[in-house]
Amino acid sequence: MTHLIISVLDAPRNVVVSISPSGEIVEGDSVTLSCSSDSNPPAEISWFKGGTIVGSGRIYSISNISSDHSEEYKCKSRNQHGETYSDAVTLNVMYPPKNVSVSKNGSGEIVEGDSVTLSCSSDSNPPAEISWFKENQSSAVGSGQSFSALQSGRFYCEAHNQHGSQRSDAVAVTVKEHHISSWHAVFGIIVECGVSLIIVTITIIIIMFIIKKLRSFKSEYITMTQIK
């Protein structure tokens, strides 16, 4: 009895990517991507990061992973009968804050009674929480992306998430005393002198009017006395 074996040739199908480990990926970890597919004959595998080819073979390994590896990955399974891409999977790499810096609007010099706004920027995943400090003080003086400085000093921000923290360099804020300009001072003196002069003039006029009235009254009194 003769057995006949029929081999059906076909293009790749059921192309799937799996990630190991499957949980949260933190910077510094090692990650393995595996590509599986059904095909006859067996397919050749290529790996893509975004739109760029980065490797080949059923296994694609990344050791000491970093934030630069955060991207969508997919594999292509190909034989002489066709090719098929897997769905894309995303590597979401968690990492502590880095590149933390402070910017300020203007020169950082403010007049007494005003404020200068400081802004903190950082790169992290997940997004960092921001705390503000004044140099030589252990407790925070503010929180949030922006901070309004009302006094002189050197200020810095600290970005932190569950994977670590980093502080920025300090920036200086200088508060200057409020001085009235010389022109305003002269103008003020002129106004004060003018007001004083007007008051004195009015007072003199009133006194002269009273004196005149008194003289007139005295003259009338003398005349009436003489007539009697």
Tell me: the pLDDT tens digits for 55-71? 999 999 999 999 999 99
Residue 122 belongs to domain spanning: 95-176
Q: Place 197 in a pLDDT band, splitting at 50, 70 and 90.
A: confident
| 4 band by pLDDT with thresholds 50, 70 and 90 | low
- Total number of domains constituting the chain: 2
> What's residue 52's pLDDT?
96
Percent of the chain at pLDDT > 90 equals: 64
Is it the case that residue 11 has pLDDT exceeding 60?
Answer: yes
**Residue at a domain's end among 51, 71, 91:** 91
Residues 60 and 126 in one domain: no
- What is the model's pLDDT at position 181? 47
Domain end position, chosen among 58, 91, 124: 91
Question: Looking at the structure, do residues 149 and 105 belong to the same domain, yes or no?
Answer: yes
Q: Which of 91, 118, 151 is the last residue of a domain?
A: 91
Query: What CATH number is given to the structural domain containing 159?
Result: 2.60.40.10
Three-state secondary structure of the chain: CCCCCCCCCEEEEEEEEEEECCCCEECCCCEEEEEEEEEECCCEEEEEECCEEEEECCEEEECCCCHHHCEEEEEEEEECCEEEECCCEEECEEEEEEEEEEEECCCCEEECCCCEEEEEEEEEECCCEEEEEECCCCCCCEECCEEEECCCEEEEEEEEECCEEEECCCEEEEEECCCCCHHHHHHHHHHHHHHHHHHHHHHHHHHHHHHHHHHHHHHHHHHHHHHC
Does residue 214 register a pLDDT over 80? no
Same structural domain, 26 and 72: yes
